[in-house]
Amino acid sequence: MNIAICDDEKVIREQIKNLLEKEIRGVCIELYETGDALLAAGKRFDIVFLDIQMEGADGIETARKLREQSELKGEEDTLLIFITGIREYVFQAFDVAAFHYLVKPVAEDKFREVLDRAQKELEKRKRKRRKTVFIKTRNRSFTLEKDSILYIESRGKKVEIHTAGENIEAYVSMNEMEGQLGAEFYRCHRGYLVNMAFVAEYDNKSITLNNGADVYLAKEKYGEFVKTYMRYLRNGVNGND
């Protein structure tokens, strides 16, 4: 887990760091004195503890820019936990979708409670990522349920994702899609990825899906496909979970 602590008070940075190391083993922690320094690092963190009152970019402005960076890179939003000595600032935190906040001086019991909730949220996101794939099109970025994808077709520098309801052009390579989708999808041809769950029949030239679509099957991949598909059927849909 990668965590950043951004606060202009050294004593607060050290306190949060010590509390984190006490609660989580093997955590990677980076300390920043200003929001500008955090933004300049250009790194993605699972959690950022962020002071609201700082010189230069304050916590709210820093949070907005972090959200913009994530959107541009197509990354999942970081969990933002604000640290503030003034309760009134808490309401501004809702504008940047903050996960929670801590009031200075930070009480250890409250810190432990908020951190526990953050870890549960990260675990929930992790489970969701196993079932979804991140898609970026010309106009939007979103997650798509893997189970809704019939097959994927290469279109040069893009791919066309075929679902039961629509076809979606995404700006991603076939290799990236193959890596994201996992073992329930098979690269049956350099230009095609097929969802095993929708295979209806096949021969040594093509795979027919249960919606009637035909997908090319490379001759040299026929034997491997048969073995992989048989293994998939034996293990069941969740056999690799």
Task: Give me the residues of the chain with pLDDT under 50, please.
Answer: 238-241
137-235 topology per CATH? OB fold (Dihydrolipoamide Acetyltransferase, E2P) (2.40.50)
Q: What is the pLDDT of residue 240?
A: 41
What is the pTM assigned to this prediction? 0.61
List alpha helices for 82-221, DSSP H.
90-93, 108-131, 174-181
Per DSSP, 205 falls in state S
Q: Are 173 and 193 in contact (CB under 8 A)?
A: no
Instruction: Give the domain ranges of the chain.
Output: 2-131, 137-235
Alpha carbon 62 to its chain centroid, in Å, reads: 21
Domain 2-131 superfamily per CATH? Response regulator (3.40.50.2300)
pLDDT tens for 94-139 read 677 789 989 889 999 999 999 999 999 998 888 776 677 778 777 7
Pick from 20, 14, 58, 19: nearest CA to 36: 58
Cα(66)–Cα(75) distance, rounded to whole angstroms?
Answer: 11
Q: What is the pLDDT of residue 239?
A: 40
Q: What is the pLDDT of residue 241?
A: 42
3-state secondary structure 20-80: HHHHCCCCEEEEECCHHHHHHHCCCCCEEEEECCCCCCCHHHHHHHHHHHHHHHCCCCCEE
